[in-house]
């Protein structure tokens, strides 16, 4: 079983579809992904994916590909946050969030966390920030325990696809005992 950091570097170098820019950000990437996958696999948490409006296409891409039969692995509990809470526009204050948390706690007794991808100024980012242990790929604001990107970055969409490719490969690596995300 390989150490996660070394596996990540080797995977980035070997996979021509993953940009070398991710190797430069490996120390930002590995701790966040490690925590996310640890919660998903070892603590059996559900992942509720949430994006800003401009990344709705990416949400669909994630949900279409995360459990694709081409992965040849067990299906994993990834869901669209908006399918549970369709009125994200009405979640304005802490009380609204508490009501949603109560519903999600009943629905997912083993726990859950939010995977947010998008601008920090979007109202959905506020939802992710209010939920404990959110996994965030956030734009335009450096927040502790999140992966920072600029919404003005050249080829931002391509970078998101590369990040997902690496994340998806990491999931398979953990499930097939090739890597240990805790080392």
**Tell me, what CATH number does 154's domain have?**
3.40.50.11670
Kindly report, residue by residue over 8-35, the tens digit of the pLDDT.
999 999 999 999 999 999 999 999 999 9
90 compared with 56, residue with greater pLDDT: 56
Which of these, 86, 87, 147, lies nearest to 116 by C-alpha position?
Answer: 147
Q: How far is CA 95 from CA 99, 112, 120, 130, in A?
A: 6, 19, 21, 11
- 3-state DSSP call for residue 152? coil
Band the pLDDT of 84: cuts 50, 70, 90.
confident
Domain count, the chain: 1
Band the pLDDT of 100: cuts 50, 70, 90.
confident
Domain that holds residue 86: 2-180
Predicted pLDDT of residue 60: 97
Band the pLDDT of 6: cuts 50, 70, 90.
very high
């Amino acid at each position: 079983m390989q150490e996660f950091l070394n596996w990540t570097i080797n995977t980035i170098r070997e996979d021509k579809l993953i940009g070398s820019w991710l190797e430069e950000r490996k120390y930002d990437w590995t701790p966040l992904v490690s925590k996310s996958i640890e919660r998903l696999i070892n603590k059996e948490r559900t992942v509720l994916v949430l994006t800003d409006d401009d990344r709705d296409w990416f949400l669909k891409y994630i949900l279409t590909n995360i459990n694709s039969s081409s992965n040849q692995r067990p299906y994993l509990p990834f869901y669209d946050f908006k399918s549970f809470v369709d009125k994200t526009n009405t979640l304005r204050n802490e009380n609204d969030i508490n009501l949603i948390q109560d519903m999600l706690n009943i629905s997912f007794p083993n726990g859950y966390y939010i995977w947010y991808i998008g601008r920090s100024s979007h109202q959905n980012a506020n939802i992710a920030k209010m939920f404990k242990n959110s996994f965030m790929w956030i734009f335009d604001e450096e927040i502790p325990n999140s992966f920072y990107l600029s919404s003005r970055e050249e080829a931002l969409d391509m970078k998101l696809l590369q990040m997902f490719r690496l994340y998806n490969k990491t999931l398979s690596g953990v499930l097939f005992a090739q890597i240990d995300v805790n080392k």
